[in-house]
Amino acid sequence: METILTGVRVNEEPTIGNFLGAYAPMINLSREHSEDRINFFVPDLHSFTTPIDHSKLYEQTIKGIKYYLAAGLDVNNPNIHIYRQSRIPAHAELCWILDCFTPFGEASRMTQFKEKGAEHPDAVTVGLFNYPILMAADILLYDAKYVPLGEDQFQHLELARNIAIRMNNKFGQELFTLPASEKEQVKFMHLEKGLRIRSLTEPNKKMSKSSENERSKILLCDDPKHAAKKIMSATTDSEGVIRFDMVNQPGISNLLTMESLLTNRDIQDVISDWAGQTSYGDLKRKVADTVMHFLADFQERVKNISNSDVEAILERGEQYANTAANKKLRQVQKAIGLYK
């Protein structure tokens, strides 16, 4: 049994792009690997690395888990565990231990720190610098081999591998399972087949939940009719023909991608439907209708999940996670001399 681990930050409302690029693929992966151990965790301690509304964090955590459940996560599978990072103290303790075995120069090469620091220059904290080490603790505590994540996080995954190798070599034992390499992760997650949802206003960029331009994104909580209007105003081009060309027609290609993923149809079939057609308005109306029906159905499923249901699921998951994490932490504590 392999361990697959994934976490999605919940301090910002996810977009339809997050759903199609993270939630839905992970649900599919959990079905394909139902015999493996699958850890879905909420990295709520990571939430503090950038400015947030702290008064909403708990509510957003519960809501984020409801999104996973509404997407189809099978919580009756005993191999699936859902938990909050903050409720497992071993994450924080192992992070400190790993800090002390990570050279400053290695940590300072993380490009995400530089990019996020540039976005929030007045809010650069030690936590922002240190979060890749906490991420390594999140992974290594559970001997996770596969870690579905965004491509911008592969550098952090490599850091976790380096830390695991360093600790294993230093203490002469297999303390940590080595996470799969980037190449293995890409193959495992089928990323080479992936389609990405782009901004509705700047289709050369990905759809971002942190974008200040509300017209650029469709949030999972958006009113379905309002979301349909965003599709109708999406940026396209002046080519005058519908075809899939991410270089020259990224806006049209983005609409075709959305239609493909939301209807669970092969992108080539959708492209064939529209081959040679010239009415951008017809395509927008079709995609707007698809988006509107998707959101209405999804939001209804979310509404039918109670907070008490989520809290019962978390209680079970956190009992498992504390047992597993404490066992691994004790092995590390013994190796570094804290216990006989």
Place of tokens 């103290």: 89
In the chain the first and final C-alpha atoms are separated, in Å, by 30
Place of tokens 């929030």: 120
Active site residue 327: no
Rounded to whole angstroms, the Cα distance separating 162 from 108 reads: 14
- Please state the φ and ψ torsions of residue 327, each to the nearest 5 degrees: -65, -45
- Please answer whether residues 310 and 65 qualify as being in contact, where contact means their C-beta atoms are separated by less than 8 angstroms: yes
Specify the DSSP class assigned to residue 63. Answer: H
How many Å apart are CA 228 and CA 58, to the nearest integer? 30
| Backbone dihedral region for residue 190 (phi beyond 0: left; psi -120 to 50: alpha; all else: beta) | left
Is-contact 192 149, C-beta < 8 A?
no
Catalytic residue among 116, 217, 230, 284: 116
Q: Is the distance from CB of 226 to CB of 232 less than 8 angstroms?
A: no
Element (H, E) at 166: helix 154-171
Element (H, E) at 292: helix 280-303
> Residue 30, class by beta-carbon neighbours within 10 Å (0-12 exposed, 13-18 middle, 19+ buried)?
buried
Check: CB of residue 167 under 8 Å from CB of residue 176: yes
Query: Is 114 a catalytic site residue?
Result: no
Task: Calculate Rg over the CA atoms of the chain.
Answer: 21
For the CA atoms of 195, 180, 66, 233, the dihedral, rounded to the nearest 10 degrees, stands at -20
**Active-site pick, 206, 217, 230, 328:** 206
Distance in angstroms (rounded) separating the CA atoms of residues 69 and 104: 40
Q: Give the C-alpha separation, 33 to 293, whole Å.
A: 29
Catalytic residue status for 209: yes
Cβ pair 79, 316 in contact under 8 A: no
Question: Hey, which residues are catalytic here?
Answer: 116, 206, 209
